[in-house]
Structure 1
Amino acid sequence: MKKRIADEVEFELSSGNVFADLGLPGADKLQIKSGLVGEIRHAMRKLELTQDEAAQRMGIAQPKVSGMLRGDFSGLSERKLMDCLNRLGYDIEIRVRPSADAIGHLKLAVA
């Protein structure tokens, strides 16, 4: 990360992945999960669903919904989160393409 100084305060620019910036293992997957949960939260608001109603539609227990909305993704795979979005009326499209780098990257794009 690049260091900058503004108003005599030194700071580092983000890489765009806060989980990687914090040095957490599995940062790419955490960023994907976080983005998917953000869309689930958005869908729940748009559909005006309570946690109980959302849990029923998504096929998971209400405590899992509560934990998910608080950032606890344990026990929820990316696939399960995508399934939850499908059940809330979202289409999921996965696109695979060659990377310019030696090792590719995971990226979530929301329309």
Structure 2
Amino acid sequence: MQKRIVDGVEVRRSSGNVFADLGVPDANKLKVKTDLAIEIRKAMKVHGLTQTEAAQRMGISQAKVSGMMRGDFTNLSKRKLMECLNRLGYDIEIKVKPANESLGHLTVALA
């Protein structure tokens, strides 16, 4: 990771996963969940849905939608988040390919 000094403060270029940069356990899983939750929030805005309306369409409680909007999606699996996006009218594609390293990575590509 590159680092430099800006106005006396050490600055490092992100790897693209802030959770990994901060050393958070299960950073890759958390990044995927975050990316999915961001897309759900965008879909709600596009469709003009309230949390209650979105909850009904996604098949989850309004409380879970509220938590998700605040960044708390510990009670929602990646699978459930993908199902929520499907119910909001979004397609999800999963692409599998050989990794460049001995350990592969899970990445969410957003259109």
Q: Do residues 44 (structure 1) and 44 (structure 2) align?
A: yes
SS in 1 for 2:102: coil
Deviation sequence 1:6-41 (CA, Å, 0-9, x none) = 344321111110011111111001000000000000
1:59 & 1:95 partners in 2: Cα distance?
Answer: 26
State the match for 1:11 in structure 2: 11
Gaps of 5+ in 2: none
State the match for 2:101 in structure 1: 101
Gaps of 5+ in 1: none
**Displaced runs of 4 or more, over 4 A:** none
2:58 & 2:71 partners in 1: Cα distance?
Answer: 17
Deviation sequence 1:52-74 (CA, Å, 0-9, x none) = 00000000000000001100011
Q: How does 1:83-94 map to 2 (within 5 A)?
A: 83-94=83-94
SS in 2 for 1:11: strand
1:8 & 1:71 partners in 2: Cα distance?
Answer: 32
Output the aligned Cα RMSD: 1.0
Q: Do residues 81 (structure 1) and 81 (structure 2) align?
A: yes
Deviation sequence 1:65-107 (CA, Å, 0-9, x none) = 0001100011100000000000000000000000111111111
1:5: how far off?
Answer: 2.0
Q: Do residues 69 (structure 1) and 69 (structure 2) align?
A: yes
TM-score, with normalisation over the residues of structure 2?
A: 0.95
2:8 & 2:53 partners in 1: Cα distance?
Answer: 50
TM-score, with normalisation over the residues of structure 1?
A: 0.95
1:24 & 1:75 partners in 2: Cα distance?
Answer: 18
1:102 & 1:2 partners in 2: Cα distance?
Answer: 23
Aligned residues: 111
1:2: how far off?
Answer: 2.4
